[in-house]
Amino acid sequence: MAASYIQEEHEIFREAVRKFLDQEARPNYREWEKGGMIPREFWMKLGQQGFLCPGVAESYGGYNADFAYSVILNEEFERIGSSLVGIGLHNDIVTPYIDSYGTEEQKNKWLPKCATGEMISAIAMTEPGAGSDLAGIKTTAVKDGDSFILNGEKTFITNGILADLVVVVCKTDPKANPPHKGMSLLVVERDTPGFKRGRKLEKVGLHAQDTAELIFEDVRVPAENLLGEEGKGFYYLMDKLQQERLVVSIAAQTAAETMLKETVSYVKQREAFGKPISKLQTVQFRIAEMATEVEVGRSFLDDLINQHIEGKEVTTKVSMSKWWHTEMARRVITECMQLHGGYGYMEEYEIARRYRDIPVASIYAGTNDIMKSIIAKNMGL
């Protein structure tokens, strides 16, 4: 049964997205993994189809779509493979910062090109010495006339190599006490002098997703590229991280559903001791347990998406979902790999890729330990 936030027009949209991805992404995915990159041409095709920045107003190139359209896009991207995570980041994490906090000039300048795929976006939070502790970042932006001089290093940046537009989390007041009150968001454009890409990072999984180090050496950023108000960066991040964590939960749930379905099909075909292994009680029980977890996950997630669409405050539940769904997906995919036997360890089987790709979901967008800390704090502990 479809979730209550899914209407007929959403299902029509899903069919269009699925048909496009099956034609344009699925046959090429293995090559993209070998190349370590989702090609820019694919981004342009997504833009032509209207699959980028759906929530942005029509005047800026989007179609002012409700969040259910983003849910569908993220589910269908994940159905192809976790390396498409950078597209969801562009659609539902980075451009909403510009959409929510940008000036008319900023929105007119950047959003239409984000919607066509001409501009690919990234957000640069994490540093070599600061991850979950965002207040500990060292990147600074010092005011100099009508510019900021930006210095620092960022790492693990999704879309880092391809990005034309980077929202950089920096300290405009390094002496602020408490430190988070000195944080701001600056938008840095490709080819700005002093802005360099470091290494394209080699990861255990997500091989087709470009992740990079970014280096800023005396980068002169126009003051008009400040996003929102100076010193409000931390509050903007706290506001938008909820949707980011929800997007991670959606991907984890979809990965678990996809691999469970594939594994059920596999165990029905695979024979041992003269019969399909699906007839073995131990296999049946393991599948039954996974199916239950996946079903519970879907119910919780759909309810949470509904609340998010309705504009409710869901910080605690999103934190619960982010840690639980990513851990559940890892359990399910590990079990599915085991049920594939030796074939589960072979690169030609999708389960092997999923086994590599899913663990990082418990780390990014705030580690699962941080999620539990947020839950505990919000419970008054």
From 33, 76, 213, 244, the catalytic residue = 244
β-strands 275-276, 211-222: how paired?
A: unpaired
Q: How far apart are CA 166 and CA 191, in angstroms?
A: 11
In terms of Cβ atoms closer than 10 Å to its own Cβ (0-12, 13-18, 19+), residue 192 is middle
Phi first, then psi: give them for residue 180, nearest 5 degrees. -65, -15
277: left (phi over 0), alpha (psi -120 to 50) or beta: alpha
Q: How far apart are CA 59 and CA 102, in angstroms?
A: 14
Do 246 and 318 touch, CB atoms closer than 8 A? yes
What separation in angstroms does the CA of 56 have from each of 97, 156, 174?
Answer: 11, 27, 33
Nearest Cα to 75, choosing from 51, 99, 98? 51
What separation in angstroms does the CA of 166 have from each of 188, 243, 305, 358, 370?
Answer: 5, 19, 27, 25, 25
In terms of Cβ atoms closer than 10 Å to its own Cβ (0-12, 13-18, 19+), residue 281 is exposed
Catalytic status, residue 244: yes
β-strands 165-171, 183-189: how paired?
A: antiparallel
Q: Would you state the structure tokens that stand for residue 105, as one six-digit string?
A: 């000039």
Can you list the alpha helix ranges (DSSP code H) found in 2-93? 8-24, 29-35, 40-49, 67-80, 85-89
Q: How far apart are CA 338 and CA 316, in angstroms?
A: 33
What separation in angstroms does the CA of 122 have from each of 142, 239, 362?
Answer: 22, 17, 20
Residues marked as catalytic: 244
